[in-house]
Structure 1
Amino acid sequence: MNITVKLFAMFRVGRFAATTKNYQSGISPADITSELNIPAQEVGIVLVNGRHARLDHRLLDGDILSLFPLIGGG
C-alpha cells in the first residue's frame, strides 16, 4: 500500500520533505518513525490525512502521514 510521508522542520535534515513509498499492510506511524531513525519522544504532532493521530494508528492505502517535531521555546 502507498503512503505519503511528509516531514517538517528538523525531521527533514538528511532525509526528505515528502515521499510516497510502498509499505506493508498494517504499518503504523511508529513503524515509519523507527525506520527513519526518528525517536518517538521527539515526535510532537502526528497527522493522518490532516487529522491528529497517535503513533499506534494503523495506516491505510493512500494515507498521508505528516510528522512534526516537538517545538521548544518560551
Structure 2
Amino acid sequence: MITVEIRLYADLGRHTPDLRVGEPRSVAVPAGTTVGDLLTKLGILPEVVRLVFVNGAARPLDWELRDGDRVGIFPPIGGG
C-alpha cells in the first residue's frame, strides 16, 4: 500500500460528500494505482474531471501514483 494526499476543487465535493473541497485528505491505495484508479476509488467519473495535478504537474489518467504524491483534482471551470 502507498499513501497519497488528495484535494478536490470547485464542485467535485458533491461527488464525495465525506471530502471537503480544498481540504487535504490522505488515502491509502495499492501500489500500482493510477490516477484513473484513484478517481474510481473516490467515486468520481473521469468525465467530470478536467485536470489532475500530481505534485504540481498535470498528469494523464494512466499515470501511476507513488507513495507521498500530492494529487489535486479539478473539474472543468467556466467563466467569462
TM-score of the aligned structures, taking structure 1 as reference length = 0.89
Deviating above 6 A after TM superposition, structure 1's stretches of 4 or more consecutive aligned residues are none
Is 1:28 the equivalent of 2:31?
no
Q: In 2, distance between residues paired with 1:34 and 1:21?
A: 13
Greater strand share, structure number = 1
CA RMSD of aligned residues (A): 1.3
Structure 1 segments unaligned to the other structure (5+ residues): none
TM-superposed deviation, 1:15: 3.5
Q: Which residue of 1 aligns with 2:12?
A: 11
Is 1:39 the equivalent of 2:40?
no
Amino acid at match of 1:71: I
TM-score of the aligned structures, taking structure 2 as reference length = 0.83
Of all paired residues, the percent bearing the same amino acid is 31
Q: Which residue of 2 aligns with 1:62?
A: 68
| Equivalent pairs, count | 74
Amino acid at match of 1:8: Y
| SS in structure 2 of the partner of residue 21 of structure 1 | strand
Q: In 1, distance between residues paired with 2:18 and 2:79?
A: 24
